[in-house]
Chains A and B, each alone.
Chain A
Amino acid sequence: MAYSEKVIDHYSNPRNVGTLDKSNANVGTGLVGAPECGDVMRLQIQVNPETGVIEDARFKTFGCGSAIASSSLATEWLKGKTVDQALDIDNMDIVEELALPPVKIHCSVLAEDAIHAAINDYRVKQGLAPLEETKKHH
């Protein structure tokens, strides 16, 4: 199975690899997946509490090329969005952008889960209730 050019680009030049200070109240951390399943994503956002804008996003991923590319793309999309806008990122947008084949759709689902987990972590730190998972994945 050949990878799409966009997957290869994100895999070879991953954007925003790194770690934010998870003890900072403005940082939300989402850790999803499981080592025994072969992929784990950690996605972090740093939010400006005044504006609700995500000013920085970082990831680290253990997984295949598509998982790394999905998380790299997610961090790119998150930066500059408000937390509310970030919630609208749909896993199928990632599938489309990276031209992921059906067997790799779970990588995009994981990225969407990571975004939601990071936002919830941020909300809890800010004294807000975590969001209920309302929408079903594709």
Chain B
Amino acid sequence: MNLNSMLKLPIYLDNNATTRVDPRVFEAMTPYFLEDFGNAASRNHPFGWKAEEAVDYAREQIAALIGANEKEIIFTSGATESNNLALKGVFEMYAEKGRHFITAVTEHKAILDTCKHLEKQGAEITYLTPGEDGLITVQQVADAIRQDTILVTIMYANNEIGVIQPIREIGALCKSKGVLFHTDATQAVGKIPVDVIADNIDLLSMTAHKMYGPKGIGALYVRRKNPRVKVTAQMDGGGHERGMRSGTLNVPGIVGFGKACELARQEMSTDAARLSKLRDKLENALLQLEESYVNGNRDHRLPHCTNISFKYVEGEGLMMAIKDIAVSSGSACTSASLEPSYVLKSLGLDDELAHSSLRFGLGRFTTEEEIDFTIHCVTDAVNRLRDMSPLWEMHKEGIDLKSIEWQAH
């Protein structure tokens, strides 16, 4: 069988980085560039009314996906801005109540770097370290809560390993302690059911481009009732979005975001069922390779992704060997910092295993043929590179690599 003839290359398996816009989303957006191009804040003519109407409708579509009220959706440029607004906005608004935040070392840089920034402003931050499976426990959060804790921020699902944190339990704990709870749900919304009421979430960051919507548009959910939460605006201007985020609304983006949420609500469960099957097929096939390991908890994780380390093979070298497949790696060589993934390292993985990891992110447009091709390519590449790897040879000879005095450079 010639797999190549059936496939369009390269294959995209990096859906945790971004997703293709669903053609139905794109179609919904187009009129708002060319015909209905008005400013949603123009109250005095039909162009403005049309835009406002479209924004209101999208707000409902987005709110419905996470069980929120449409008035609780604050539009932003994406999840990074939402995270910044949530953390900085809460810190400024509630500074009188306290200056302590709780977060985790495996959070996205948009959270960690914002925390670093707030530390310079006088915030005190507790960084929880997850277990080897990537999960934070409710007990860890409970133990870290102090009199002056004003916010707990724990991501819903991790971008590198896909593990899903016990959000509902953490939410209930925070509520009982009177501490605000924010979650960066960038990877979770649209992929698994998220309900801000049931989960007791006070603030939630989300973005359109991870769920088949356009880039450059995201939202921060800010609870209005029980309790009523407010964040201090981080951008001064016309007082849009209930005064929390000024700036002319990105109407086509918002329309696309709304459509993407509507589609996710309708198709999430069928997508998830299909993708978890394909993911398991890929994972089980690749685990046939000796010395390959799944990173992170396998029971509590997103249905469409897996992160696997192929010991004794370096990630960037491996990606070069599978150049027809777009994935990402925890290898240092693929990052600007030349440090291997801090998420994988925080699970207690040796640097060596972190260097050897690949992240596969499946998506709505992934086909079974693509997965079969990927299994074939990755298996070949790992075998080929191991034949070339001195570490593999030593492993096969029974030499303990830890017994060797390596000269780091």
Given A64-B314, A64-B320, A65-B316, are A35 and B406 neighbors across the interface (CB < 8 Å)? yes
Which residues of chain B come closer than 8 Å to A113, judged between CB atoms? 409
Cβ contact within 8 Å between A14 and B406: no
Cβ contact within 8 Å between A38 and B332: yes
Contact of A39 among B314, B350, B393 (CB under 8 A): B314
| B387 interfacial by beta-carbon distance below 8 Å | yes
A82 to B166: give the CA distance in the assembly, Å. 64
Given A17-B388, A41-B390, are A34 and B314 neighbors across the interface (CB < 8 Å)? no
A34 to B350: give the CA distance in the assembly, Å. 12
| B340 interfacial by beta-carbon distance below 8 Å | yes
| A77 interfacial by beta-carbon distance below 8 Å | no
| A5 interfacial by beta-carbon distance below 8 Å | no
Which residues of chain B come closer than 8 Å to A65, judged between CB atoms? 316-317, 320
In the complex, per-residue mask of B320-338: 1 if CB is within 8 Å of any chain A CB, else 0: 1100000000011100001
A17 to B313: give the CA distance in the assembly, Å. 15
Interface of A is mostly: mixed
Tell me which residues from 367 to 409 in chain B have a Cβ below 8 Å from any Cβ of chain A: 387-393, 401, 404, 406-409
| A88 interfacial by beta-carbon distance below 8 Å | no
| A52 interfacial by beta-carbon distance below 8 Å | no
Contact of B355 among A17, A38, A41, A61 (CB under 8 A): A38
Cβ contact within 8 Å between A33 and B393: no
Q: Whose C-beta in chain B lies nearest to the C-beta of A39?
A: B314
Cβ contact within 8 Å between A35 and B393: no
Tell me which residues from 14 to 72 in chain A have a Cβ below 8 Å from any Cβ of chain B: 14, 17, 19, 31-42, 60-65, 67-68
Q: Whose C-beta in chain B lies nearest to the C-beta of A68?
A: B317
Closest-CB distance, B401 to chain A (whole angstroms): 6
| B124 interfacial by beta-carbon distance below 8 Å | no
| B241 interfacial by beta-carbon distance below 8 Å | no
| A73 interfacial by beta-carbon distance below 8 Å | no
A34 to B314: give the CA distance in the assembly, Å. 12
Cβ contact within 8 Å between B312 and A37: no
A106 to B408: give the CA distance in the assembly, Å. 12
Which residues of chain A come closer than 8 Å to B350, judged between CB atoms? 35-36
Cβ contact within 8 Å between A62 and B406: no
Given A17-B388, A40-B390, are A34 and B406 neighbors across the interface (CB < 8 Å)? yes
Cβ contact within 8 Å between B390 and A38: no
Cβ contact within 8 Å between A35 and B333: no
Q: Whose C-beta in chain A lies nearest to the C-beta of B317?
A: A64
Contact of B331 among A11, A34, A35, A38 (CB under 8 A): A38
Tell me which residues from 76 to 114 in chain A have a Cβ below 8 Å from any Cβ of chain B: 103, 106, 109-110, 113
Tell me which residues from 161 to 191 in chain B have a Cβ below 8 Å from any Cβ of chain A: none
Given A42-B390, A61-B388, are A35 and B351 neighbors across the interface (CB < 8 Å)? yes
Which residues of chain B come closer than 8 Å to A38, judged between CB atoms? 314-316, 331-333, 340, 351, 355
Cβ contact within 8 Å between B390 and A31: yes
A65 to B315: give the CA distance in the assembly, Å. 10
A14 to B320: give the CA distance in the assembly, Å. 14
Cβ contact within 8 Å between B340 and A61: no
Cβ contact within 8 Å between A35 and B391: yes
Which residues of chain A come closer than 8 Å to B332, judged between CB atoms? 37-38
Which residues of chain B come closer than 8 Å to A60, judged between CB atoms? 388-390, 393
A125 to B106: give the CA distance in the assembly, Å. 49
Contact of A63 among B314, B338, B393 (CB under 8 A): B314
A19 to B350: give the CA distance in the assembly, Å. 27
Contact of A17 among B387, B401, B406 (CB under 8 A): B387
A33 to B355: give the CA distance in the assembly, Å. 14
Given A60-B393, A62-B391, are A36 and B317 neighbors across the interface (CB < 8 Å)? no
Closest-CB distance, A49 to chain B (whole angstroms): 25
Cβ contact within 8 Å between B390 and A61: yes
Given A68-B317, A106-B409, A109-B409, are A61 and B393 neighbors across the interface (CB < 8 Å)? no
6 contacts between A and B (CB under 8 A): A31-B404, A34-B407, A63-B317, A65-B316, A68-B317, A103-B338
Query: A34-B406, A62-B389, A64-B314 known; 10 other A-B pairs, CB under 8 Å?
Result: A14-B388, A33-B407, A35-B355, A35-B406, A36-B351, A38-B332, A38-B333, A62-B317, A63-B314, A65-B320
Question: Closest 5 CB pairs between A and B?
Answer: A34-B406, A36-B351, A42-B390, A64-B316, A35-B352
